[in-house]
Amino acid sequence: MRTMRFLRLPLLALTCAALLLAGCRDEKIIERMGFTRTVALDLPDGEEDKTKLKVTISIPKSEPANARIVLTTIAQSNKEARIMFSRQNNRQIVSGQLRAVLFGEQLAKDGLWKNIDTFVRDPSIGSKVNVIVVNGNANALLQRNYKQFPSTGEYIEDLVRTERGATEIPLSNLHTFTRDYFDDGIDPVAPLIKEGKEALALDGIALFRDDVFVMRVEPQKSLLFNFMHKNFVTGEVVMALPIQEGEQQRIMLSFVASNRKIKIRHAKTIRGGEDIQVHFHLKIRGEVLEYHGKLNLQKTPDQKELEKRMKAYVESETMHLLEKMQQLRIDPLGIGQHVRNRMTFAQWKKLDWREMIPDLKIRVTADVKIKDIGKLQS
């Protein structure tokens, strides 16, 4: 009996080893993997068939530094393109390290959801993958090399992260785009970038009606959009005020804190969807780091005058943006969410919110205060 028990132990060990070895058939050797970091999608040049895509991928290489593999093909979908890429090189293309998806301007104007949907459904792709619109051709941009910067894919990722930290662009990834696309009280947004001779550049914010790119917020107006879009605390922002006394004033503020509140007021006819009033209240605080103008900020009356001018500028320019959004029947600021919260779900479903947007009565009130003028000298 003791002998039989002794023989069972090696037999059990061999069985376990066999099971472990059987599980190793799905092994993935890193050196044979092609980890896609960035994907660019466009409508094919000169083709009327909008069911096809021009797809470019960027795969980092370990050596030499900042080296990469760039592959391009025409396919029916991103998934088909991935299969075609695997046939073109000696690596198995995988998407687990994907960081950004670039969409060309024309493709974005045609609608993005059918393409974003393929990424969202892939369990190997994370929800934090950046969604970016290119002002121009996304494939051409991804194929460019900028010698003074890292590989283009990594460069794009760093650029978006930096500008987002400076509140120049709002957060936009697969999760936020999908969430806002399916929410009938808000529309998606995405950063815009463009190709330059020496470097890439942020080119504003892309605003969507559902999944269709319909409006661009210029880089100079991105901060104003963000005042209305979210609350934030950031390091430094620059405002270029309209010309006063023959001279344009530029103010750089540091330690800026911005808080927005949206108030919805309506007559009793709101239940019939006839009269909705929207009030944006913006509270902006900051310290003056730099000022170019004729005011003497050492004097309290001049400080008050600058605050008054900044208030007028913010209110006027944000209203211009809102009027354009109303004309295009888009709601990237989530006004519809606030309206929906003031009524029952059944009442909300009776409204044709998209068609009501142009008739909204919107006003903006800005409360701008200078906390400190730093070491400015008269």
Has residue 11 got a pLDDT over 60? Answer: no
- Domains in the chain, CATH or no CATH each: 30-217 (no CATH), 218-378 (3.30.300.210)
For 64, which DSSP code? S
Name the burial class of residue 296, with classes exposed (0-12), middle (13-18) and buried (19+) by CB atoms within 10 angstroms of its CB: middle
Has residue 271 got a pLDDT over 70? Answer: no
pLDDT in tens, 30-64: 445 557 889 999 999 766 667 789 999 888 776 66
Question: By mean pLDDT, which of 93-97, 184-188, 348-352 is the weakest?
Answer: 93-97
pLDDT confidence tier of residue 274, bands split at 50, 70 and 90: low
pLDDT at 16: 59
**Residue reference for tokens 């009280």:** 185
Question: What's the whole-number average pLDDT of the chain?
Answer: 84
pLDDT in tens, 330-356: 999 999 999 999 888 888 988 899 999
Task: Select the more confidently predicted residue: 5 or 17.
Answer: 17
Task: Select the more confidently predicted residue: 164 or 111.
Answer: 111
CB 288: neighbour CB atoms within 10 A? 18
3-state SS string over 235-298?
A: EEEEEEEEEECCEEEEEEEEEEEEEEEEEEEECHHHHHCCCEEEEEEEEEEEEEEEEECCCCCC
pLDDT confidence tier of residue 79, bands split at 50, 70 and 90: confident
Please give the C-alpha separations between residue 132 and each of 11, 106, 140, 270, 305, in angstroms, as whole numbers: 57, 13, 14, 37, 40
User: How far apart are alpha carbons 334 and 228 in whole angstroms?
Assistant: 10
In the chain, what percentage of residues exceed pLDDT 70? 81
Has residue 81 got a pLDDT over 60? Answer: yes
Has residue 13 got a pLDDT over 50? Answer: yes
Has residue 1 got a pLDDT over 50? Answer: no
Average pLDDT over residues 234-248: 76
Task: Select the more confidently predicted residue: 27 or 201.
Answer: 201
Spatial contact of 134 and 112, defined as CB atoms under 8 Å apart: no
pLDDT at 18: 54
pLDDT at 6: 43
DSSP 127-173: TT-EEEEESS-HHHHHH---TTSS-HHHHHHHHHHHHHHTTSS---B
Please give the C-alpha separations between residue 366 and each of 47, 106, 170, 230, 309, in angstroms, as whole numbers: 49, 36, 20, 14, 11
Is the C-alpha dihedral spanning 232, 233, 237, 242 positive or negative?
A: positive
Has residue 129 got a pLDDT over 80? Answer: yes
pLDDT confidence tier of residue 155, bands split at 50, 70 and 90: confident
pLDDT in tens, 99-113: 999 999 999 999 999
pLDDT at 171: 87
